Structure 1
Amino acid sequence: MRFKLHIADTLKLLLEQEDTDADKKITIEDKGPKRFVIISVEGESYEVKGTYHLSNLLQELALEQKLNKVVAEIRLEKIEELPSQRISRMIKEYFWDDLTRTIDKEGLNKILNDEKANDSTQRIYIPEEDVVGQNYYRLLLKKMPNLNIEILPKEIAPKYVKSINSKPGLLALALKNEKGVPFVVPGGRFNEMYGWDSYFESVGLLIDNRLDLAMAMADNFAYQIRYYGKILNANRSYYLTRTQPPFFSSLLKEIYLKNSDVSKNWLSENLKMVIKEYETVWMQNGIRLTGTGLSRFYGEGIGIPPETEEGHFDFELNKYAKKHKLDLNEFVDKYKNGELVDEELDHYFTHDRSLRESGHDTSNRLDDICADLNTVGLNSLLYKYEVDIAFLIKEIFDNNFEGHDAKFWLTKATKRKDLMNDLMWDDEAGGYYDYNFVTQKQQKTEAATNHYPLWAGICSDEQAKRMVKNLFENLVEKGGVAGTSDISDKTNANAPQRQWDYPNGWAPHQMLIWRGLQRYGYEKETQELVYRWLWMITKNAVNYNGTIPEKYDVVKCTHKVYAEYGNVGTEFDYITSSGFGWMNASYQLGLNFLTEDLRGKLDQLVDPDHIFRIKA
């Protein structure tokens, strides 16, 4: 059935009756009757009932209004669409496109005018060696006179990056045929290309048959390695000294497995950049490669990370202000401008930048210690690089690429695995733990990243069995896997809550753990964890006007997470047009894993106390 509705009139009546808290959404917190009669322009009527269906009506009207229509033809099956089907369809048909950006004439304004241009200047930085980019943007100046172009030096040192903190800007990405190569942003205030987000988003893109966008992400990864020396934390000027967890080899392999007809030349050029990143970023002696033979995160830079919000470090900085007997503001000013030197605080910010490079900003697991750790997560990813490179060389390049065969890379992988088992495996606990190479001890924190070896294929079947037991005993909560066990600071009520810690859960952890469990044959456990996560996402979307946010509290199963930066993706009017990048991907991947029976359970709009458990 289809109903022709006058959009403005219907919206006005619907919101007046049902949006009782006036937030331009219809949620379970509104106190309306939850029954609304729509009347078509022909005089036909239909009663829409319940929070979910009413919010769907609101969303459908908003979509039509965006098309500048006065009268909308609303299909009843869209209003009463099954939740899992609707969420997945919205991701595929709307969210990916809404999250796509380009750095060219068509796309620049959307990014340059956002809140991160905090000195109100539209500025783009272009690598010295990117002649094509320089020519393009100089021509663009004629059409965009407010655009400021800055040329980056060939060697980008931390001192230089600090010198441009007062002149923040966007970093150029790849161009092709005088158009920006597209990329997908996380959403909300994150309006640039992020390193590891891009991989997880690409997992969802490949499921939704957006090979074009996944390949574009790979091309932008390659551009960053070629011109910036690394895959950036994100393409903003203040991230030039910082990378993110490495997933390029996984992206390349998954693109090939999705479509083996991908150009061999394209694969060759990108594989060269994968190897360059591996060798020059992660295996760089004394920086990210440590004396143990394993790698660490090491965010280079000087001083306070400029992208953080004002007051973010006050808890820590107050300690040093007292130490120097200064008012907090006076201390911060003196520290920033170099009048005051404190090596202990410098070390703190080295750890903090390294923590941000890990993607886990922030976590008590890594706070004030990250640069001293060979983490399980990072070294699992690098093991995956080594075996992926071997696979691609053998599968595509006749077992010879850049002078090396698959065995050369598999030997590296074996060496890394042996080191990890020697330094990180705790046989008594049945798990891997981050290794502090300064104290030469394991850091016994239960964390989702400890289980990356399942995904990478590092552990034996016996180790996997014990790790799965450890996982369910320590990290599995009602809504999925928590980032860590409860490691909050109980001694100080003013200590900051860390958003990557308990009780919060994050999409990348779920996705890697699902794939890891499946790799080792734990099908029931995979189904359980996928269902817990998707049940939580679906329930929140059903009750809160389609909300798909950045993260969840997996204990309370809510998107109302207020630690540190709040929750991106929860602020919108009428309809979320983009969800959140890796959350979208986790939903699409989860539905790919889930049995039809369990998907059916998602669509039953179960009560808040419902929980799925595997029956013995």
Structure 2
Amino acid sequence: MDNQFYIRDIYSIFEAVQKSQIFEDQKDMADAIPMYPIAEINNIYETEKDKEGFDLKEFVVKYFQFDQSESSILREETLPIEEHIEKLWDELTRTAYEEKGTLLKLPNPYIVPGGRFNEFFYWDSYFVMLGLQVSGRIEMMKNIIENCVYLIQKFGFVPNASRTYFLSRSQPPYFSLMLDLLAESTNDESVYSQYFETLEKEYKFWMDGAESLDNNKSYRRVIKTENGDILNRYFDDENNPRPESYMIDIEDEETSANPEFYRNVRAACESGWDFSSRWFADGNTIQTIDTLNLAQVDLNCLLWHLETTLAKTSNLQNFEEKHNYYSQKSEARKKSINKYFWSEIDKIYKDYNIKSQMQTSSESIATLYPLFLNLSDHEQAKAVSETIKEKFLKKGGLITTTKESGQQWDSPNAWAPYQWLGFVAMKNYGFKELKTEIKDNWCSNVERIYLNTGKLMEKYNAIDTTSIAGGGEYPNQDGFGWTNGVYIKLKTQ
């Protein structure tokens, strides 16, 4: 039986379940697995739904299987944290050799984040790979890359995660950085040439429409400024509620005046920052979410890295025309990053609003990207390092924004990816004391929570280090892929 489906295939049942809020987590129904052919389930539902005594929950439990992931990984004794993480690599390993419900097929095993996130996630996997490198699990690193290759070749991009309902968006493009990690781990630069076609295909996805744009216009993931410069933005091809957060979106949209509210929400999900005051026009409420009008500093830095990797790989293969093309693109992007994102007044990199033709007011940890990728000059890097120390570095690590909004990608939360980016950024420019402080503050926070709970969490409270973390649409998750990877990588530095 072919039991893969898209949400649209069971929409009547799905909508009824989500609106009745049968399950505490709306992701449960989005991840359900049909136990009979979809057409058959739909027919039975249409026949029975209006009958007296019909019980919707009873119906879905009868006709769908719910693969509940472990919400917590328990051990009889608290192992040393490094031993715990080594065991977690195996416990968080999954395979999907065939389609199953909304889960996409993948050719190789992979590591899931943990908790409610029981599928392959794109940008998470890069930070997982940092830990796999330390653990000597090179084969799993290759598996992750091969899964990305499979998805890019099949869909043209790596989806947010390996579910059919994520096929309208990607996540921060880390594939070229994954190749850097593998080349470093294997001392083999041939990986770039091996995956050149895949690098080009992902680049085309992000640049779709760039050649035909008029000034001060946007199309999908590209923006052309009034000066004719090309920048990129996060986007989503759909403008409807997210299946995994269906009722949350509907309720928020009812009090929003934005006709593209859903697409703005989804675009923020493509950034990985779901959600943050960084995206809100008023700096406070999700109803004013304005992601689509922003060119983001992190995305443009990552695409600069992709262009630079394409230029380097073209050179390795003696593709002179392509080498020149991608070199020109990366040089133009480097100038644009400095021109549109650098704030000389605030000494920080900020997102750029194409509508207002101004930088946003939000101060975010995404300012690390130009330093992480060696795009800043030393004066800029020094200024950013001072801002980081003054505004972002807290007792338990680096916070994501200077605003406390109740959203999980705002203060006081510290997320694993940015501890690594912060460490490398400061190392790149020789700020030794600050890089050590970033590492020690966050690692000690992780160790304290682990000692008290036996868990490695998705995110941590960097300010109140007596608590764990909070904010967001769902409870803090235990597992946790990128925390494990970044923690053991930092401990080797």
Write out aligned runs for 1:114-513 (5 A).
124=99, 169-174=102-107, 181-261=108-188, 264=190, 267-285=192-210, 286-292=219-225, 293-308=230-245, 310-311=247-248, 313-314=250-251, 316-319=252-255, 344-367=257-280, 368-394=289-315, 397-398=316-317, 400-401=318-319, 404-405=322-323, 407-488=324-405, 497-513=406-422
Matches of 2:181 and 2:92 in 1, distance apart? 21
Give the letter for the 2:307 counterpart. E
Does residue 1:96 correspond to 2:89, yes or no?
Answer: yes
C-alpha distance in 2 between matches for 1:345 and 1:426: 28
Query: Helix, strand or coil: the match of 2:244?
Result: coil
CA 465–261 in structure 1, closer or farther in 2 if over 3 Å, else same: closer
* Structure 1, unaligned runs of 5 or more: 1-57, 63-78, 109-123, 125-146, 148-167, 175-180, 321-343, 489-496, 570-578, 594-616
What are the Cα deviations for residues 286-330 of structure 1, in whole angstroms up to 9, with x where unaligned? Answer: 21111131100011113111111534552x23426xxxxxxxxxx
Deviation, 1:247, is: 0.5
- CA–CA separation in structure 2 for the residues paired with 1:298 and 1:60: 41
Q: Distance in 1 between matches of 2:376 and 2:192?
A: 29
Query: What's the counterpart of residue 19 of structure 2?
Result: none
Q: Name the CA distance, whole Å, in 1 between partners of 2:341 and 2:452.
A: 43
CA distance in 2, matches of 1:182, 1:284: 34
Distance 1:59 1:284, change over 3 A: same
The structural deviation recorded for 1:450 is 1.7
Deviation at 1:441, TM superposition (A): 0.7
Distance in 1 separating the partners of 2:209 and 2:147: 22
SS of aligned partner of 1:290: strand
CA deviations over 1:4-41 (Å, ceiling 9, x no partner): xxxxxxxxxxxxxxxxxxxxxxxxxxxxxxxxxxxxxx
| Residue in structure 2 matched with residue 588 of structure 1 by the alignment | 488
Task: Find the partner of 2:451 among 542, 549, 566.
Answer: 542
- Alignment-mate amino acid for residue 582 of structure 1: W
Quote the offset at 1:452 in angstroms.
Answer: 0.9
Q: Kindly indicate whether the alpha-carbon contact (under 8 Å) linking 2:241 and 2:249 is maintained by their aligned counterparts in 1.
A: no
Cα distance, 1:390 vs structure 2 = 3.2
Offset of residue 61 of structure 1: 4.1
SS in structure 2 of the partner of residue 171 of structure 1: coil
Structure 1's 402 and 273: CA in aligned 2 closer, same or farther, altered over 3 A? farther
Structure 2 distance, partners of 1:61, 1:439, is: 57
Distance of 2:300 and 2:233 partners within structure 1: 8
Which AA in structure 1 matches 2:335?
D
In the alignment of these two chains, the number of paired residues is 400
Q: What SS does the corresponding residue of 2:245 show, helix, strand or coil?
A: coil
Tell me the amino acid that sits aligned with residue 96 of structure 2.
I
Q: Which amino acid aligns with 2:85?
A: I
Residues 305, 462 of structure 1: CA spacing in aligned structure 2 closer, same or farther, 3 A cutoff? same
**Which amino acid is 1:523 matched to?**
K
Taking only the aligned residue pairs, the percentage that are identical comes to: 31
Name the aligned partner's letter for residue 104 of structure 2: L
C-alpha distance in structure 2 between counterparts of 1:203 and 1:471, whole Å: 23
Q: Deviations over 1:96-134 (max 9, x none)?
A: 111111112xxx7xxxxxxxxxxxxxxx3xxxxxxxxxx
Length-normalised TM-score, structure 1: 0.62
| One-letter amino acid of the structure 2 residue matched with residue 87 of structure 1 | I
| Matched residue, 1:15 | none
Q: CA deviation at 1:192?
A: 0.5
Change (3 A) 1:280 1:61: closer
Deviations 1:360-413 (A, max 9, x none): 11112114111111111111111121223334444xx35x248523x5433322
Secondary structure of residue in 1 paired with 2:352: strand
Structure 2 residues not aligned, in runs of 5+: 1-72, 211-218, 281-288
Q: Letter of the 1:423 partner, please give it.
A: Y
Residue in structure 2 matching 1:564, options 473, 477, 483: 473
* Ranges of 4+ aligned residues in structure 1 off by more than 6 Å: none
Structure 1 residues 464 and 562: CA distance shift in structure 2, 3 A: closer
Structure 2 counterpart of 1:203, which letter?
Answer: L
Q: CA RMSD in A?
A: 2.1
Asked if the contact 1:253–1:392 (Cα under 8 Å) also holds between the matched residues in 2, the reply is no
CA distance in 1, matches of 2:138, 2:84: 18
In the superposition, relative to structure 1, how do residues 283 and 467 fare at CA in structure 2: closer, same or farther (>3 Å)? farther
TM-score (ref. length: structure 2): 0.77
Using the TM superposition, give the Cα deviation of residue 508 of structure 1 relative to its aligned residue in structure 2, in angstroms: 0.9
Q: Using a 3 Å threshold, how does the CA distance of structure 1 residues 360 and 560 change in structure 2: closer, same or farther?
A: closer
For the structure 1 residues 487 and 439, does the alpha-carbon distance in structure 2 shift closer, same or farther, using more than 3 Å as the test?
A: farther
CA shift in 2, pair 1:261/1:417, >3 Å: closer
Residues 302/252 of structure 1: CA separation in 2 closer, same or farther (3 Å cut): same
Question: Which AA in structure 2 matches 1:417?
Answer: K
Mapped contact 1:434–1:450 kept (Cα < 8 A): no
In the TM superposition, residue 260 of structure 1 has moved relative to its aligned partner by 2.4
